[in-house]
Amino acid sequence: MNKFWIILSHTYMTKFKTKSFLISTIISLVFIFAIANIQTITETFSGDTDKIAVIDESGELFTPLEESVEGSTDEMDLIAFEGAEEDGKNAVQDEEYAALITLSLNAEGLPEATYFANNIAEAGEQSVIQQQLQQLKVAAATQQAGVDQETITEIYSPVTFSKIALDDSAKTAEELNQARGIVYVMLFLLYISVITYGTMIANDVATEKSSRVMEILISSASPVTHMFAKIVGIALLGLTQVGIIIGVGYSLIMSKQEELTGGVFDYFGIQNTSASVYIYAIVFFLLGYLLYATLAAMLGSLVSRTEDVQQMIMPMILLVMIAFFIAMFGLEAPDSSFVKITSYIPFFAPMLMFLRVGMLDIPFWEVALSIGILIATILLFAAIGARVYKGGVLMYGRSSSLKDVKKAIALSKKE
């Protein structure tokens, strides 16, 4: 068997069998399961209705308010409170009621209310009641002014505002929303994967170095073979994990398609996106991974102790984070020149060019150029990485800084 495959399968199998792999996969699946069942879950937790005591001094507001509140939410019950205001406050303090409201009519005959609760941090209930009361007030006020009901309905109906792109190939507003969803999911996946698997590679290299098994390894297989076998091995591990997560996630979504339409998943637009977006997602995902993985392996080869790995890969993680934040900004403004420029900068390209491809309709040569730049950078980093790796794995020192890159290259040179 080829040495590349021996190292690759060893890396894959030992990582696959670790508890942390199992646990992180399970946690992700639980997370997806939770999202898919989000409606059921929220319903379970907010099952009990709050009782709210109402003292109606006007004698005519309680019934319409109760009706309109019931119509808008079933999480609270308005109950007419027979007693003085003080008794009501005491009852709230004894947690017999969630809150107390006193209703009255002012001099103009319009409703007024005071809301008492143990704490007024929870905005939900107050605002529902406030809104309904506001409507009552508007109704009362307009009635007093002699405006008929139809006019009021007309006033409140939303304005007709449709968005149409004139460019034929541009995405329609609906498509854009769907694209935003899939782009968001993909950016997030790339972000998490690069950080997770990049750290894994750097750690793995550093562990082999600190346990000094490295010298035996590179005496039987070349450092370059070793480095790339490791990168590909962990890439396959990542694909396995992401594959399991996407597979389970997809089947969950399909099985719940009916009840989920109009929910979270419509926003993510997972159900109907064109195939080319998926292909670009895979291409940019792989390129992004390779770029950062090569960087991670190189950085990992520079540290002598596993404790120093975090410190060493910090600059890389920062780059990923910056790319992610630019991309988050770009989701709202994919057309901006800032996004356009950054989509050609290697470290940001995987996220930002994908964002542009997904959200806009850009000429193919732009995508090709960005992919070209990415591939060139990956090759460059692979060449530098291989040199650094060759020297780095033999280098043991106390310091762990990026200055060591120079030392490592010097060590791998002829003199």
Partner 1 sequence: MTLKIKEVTKRFGSTTAVDHLSIEIPEKEMFGFLGGNGAGKTTTFRMILGLLDITDGDISWNGESIGYDKSHLIGYLPEERGLYPKLKVRDQLIYLGKLRGMSKSEVVTELEGWLDRFKVPEYIDKKVEELSKGNQQKIQFISAVIHKPKLLILDEPFSGLDPINVEMLKEAVVNLKEQGTSIVFSSHQMDHVEELCEHLCILHKGKPVVQGSLREIKKSFGKKNLIVHADFPVDFLKDFAGVLHYKSVTEGCELQIESETVAQRLFEALHGKGFVRKFELEEPTLSDIFIEKVGASYE
For position 20 contacting partner 1 by CB under 8 A, the verdict is no
14 binds partner 1 (CB under 8 A): yes
Is residue 89 at the binding interface for partner 1, with CB under 8 A as the rule? no
Q: Is 220 in the site for partner 1 (CB under 8 A)?
A: yes
216, 279, 282, 402: residue in contact with partner 1 (rule CB under 8 A): 216
Q: How many CA atoms lie within 13 A of 381 on its CB side?
A: 23
Among 76, 218, 323, 353, binds partner 1 (CB under 8 A): 218
Structure-token match 């309680």, residue found: 62
* 162 SS3 class: coil
Residues 112/103, Cβ–Cβ less than 8 Å: yes
Q: Is 413 in the site for partner 1 (CB under 8 A)?
A: yes
Q: How far is the CB of 366 from partner 1 (least distance, A)?
A: 42
- In sequence order, what DSSP letters do the residues of 21-66 get, joined into one string? HHHHHHHHHHHHHHHHTHHHHHHHHT-SPEEEEEEESSSSSHHHHH
Taking CA atoms, 130 is separated from 114, 125, 134, 393, in Å, by: 10, 8, 6, 68
| Tokens linked to 248 | 């389970």
Tokens 């490592």 belong to residue: 408
Nearer to partner 1, 9 or 199 (CB): 9
Binder among 60, 215, 259, 332 for partner 1 (CB under 8 A): 215
Choice between 65 and 408, CB closer to partner 1: 408
Give the H/E segment covering residue 349.
helix 349-359
Rounded Cα–Cα distance for residues 283 and 138 (Å): 57
- 297 touching partner 1, by CB under 8 A: no
Residue closest to 295 by CA, chosen among 386, 410, 186, 394: 386
How far apart are the C-alpha atoms of 355 and 339, rounded to whole Å?
9
Q: Which is nearer to partner 1, 249 or 300 (CB)?
A: 300
**Minimal distance, residue 243 CB to partner 1, in Å:** 26
Determine the interface stretch with partner 1 among 100-108, 216-224, 235-243, 362-370 (rule: CB under 8 A): 216-224
Work out whether 221 is an interface residue with partner 1 (CB under 8 A). Answer: yes
> Does 414 contact partner 1 by CB under 8 A?
yes
Of 7-15, 31-39, 96-104, 308-316, the segment contacting partner 1 by CB under 8 A is: 7-15
> Which one among 101, 195, 214, 352 touches partner 1, defined by CB under 8 A?
214
* 316-345 residues near partner 1, rule: CB under 8 A: none
DSSP, collapsed to helix, strand or coil, labels residue 79 as strand
Helices (H), 146-222: 149-156, 173-210, 214-220
- 190 CB-near residues (< 8 Å, 6+ apart): 284, 285, 288, 289, 350, 351, 354
Sign of dihedral through CA atoms 147, 148, 152, 157? Answer: negative
Among 222, 244, 340, 373, binds partner 1 (CB under 8 A): 222
**Least distance to partner 1 from the beta carbon of 123, Å?**
52
Q: Does 208 bind partner 1 (CB under 8 A)?
A: yes
Helix (H, G, I), strand (E, B) or coil at 102: strand
Helices (DSSP H) in 113-165: which residue ranges?
Answer: 123-145, 149-156
Q: Give the separation between CA 346 and CA 374, rounded to whole angstroms.
A: 5
Could you tell me the end-to-end alpha-carbon distance of the chain, in angstroms, rounded to an integer?
35
Minimum separation from the CB atom of position 167 to partner 1 (A): 56
Q: Which of 211, 262, 275, 365 binds partner 1 (CB under 8 A)?
A: 211
Stretch of 27-35, 107-115, 219-227, 239-247 contacting partner 1, by CB under 8 A: 219-227
Site string for partner 1, 384-403 (x = CB under 8 A): ----------x-x-------
Q: Which is nearer to partner 1, 302 or 359 (CB)?
A: 302
- For partner 1, the closer CB: 15 or 171: 15
Question: Contact with partner 1 (CB under 8 A): which of 92, 217, 298, 359?
Answer: 217
Residues near partner 1 (CB under 8 A): 1, 3, 6-7, 10, 14, 208, 211-222, 225, 394, 396, 410-415
